[in-house]
Amino acid sequence: MAGSVSREIIAAVVVGAGATVVMDLWAAFQRHVFSIPSLNYAMVGRWLGHLPRGHFVHDSIGKAEPIKYEAAIGWIFHYIVGIAFALLLVFVWGEEWLTQPSFLPAAIIGIGSVVAPFFIMQPGLGAGILASRTPNPWLSRFRSIVAHTSFAIGLYLAGLLVSLMY
């Protein structure tokens, strides 16, 4: 039992990290081919660095005091969150999903993960709930959904790879 649980956790970590890599590759592709800017993870690190000081919501995170190692903090957090969502996927759908991944659970968790930026990250960084304070909220929302759809695809693809070794 304990061996099975630790094996599931390791597999979920690999799936989450792999899915996050797919999301980052998609963002890089969009940036280079379509000049679509991607999230600056240093600003995520800055936001995280201000949390212990009791500052959860900023008017503009770019104007907040910089935090030492904010880029590294932001990137590490990005991968931790991706892994956390993969752990949720495995917790809900179990070991069976790891042996026979299907797209629907990956899509539910991956696309559903857009709730986090809409209601936590965007307001915290100063973009408002559902990116309401951005110059073009509907475009920002669409880009968030596309990004999290790439994460869903990454969950599925990483799940397929893990299933070959599981």
C-alpha 161/C-alpha 110 separation (Å) is 17
Mean pLDDT by 10 residues, the chain (166 residues): 81 98 98 95 98 95 97 98 98 96 98 98 97 97 98 98 94
Measure CA of the first residue to CA of the last residue in the chain; give whole Å: 16
Quick: pLDDT tens for 24-39: 999 999 999 999 999 9
**40 backbone dihedrals φ, ψ, rounded to 5°:** -85, 105
Residue-range domain boundaries for the chain? 2-165
pLDDT of 166: 85
pLDDT of 5: 83
Contact 11, 98 (CB under 8 A): yes
pTM, 2 dp: 0.94
pLDDT of 3: 66
pLDDT of 2: 59
Length of the chain counted residue by residue: 166
Contact 110, 152 (CB under 8 A): yes
Quick: pLDDT tens for 45-69: 999 999 999 999 999 999 999 999 9
Q: How many Cα atoms are found within 13 Å in the side-chain-facing hemisphere of 120?
A: 10
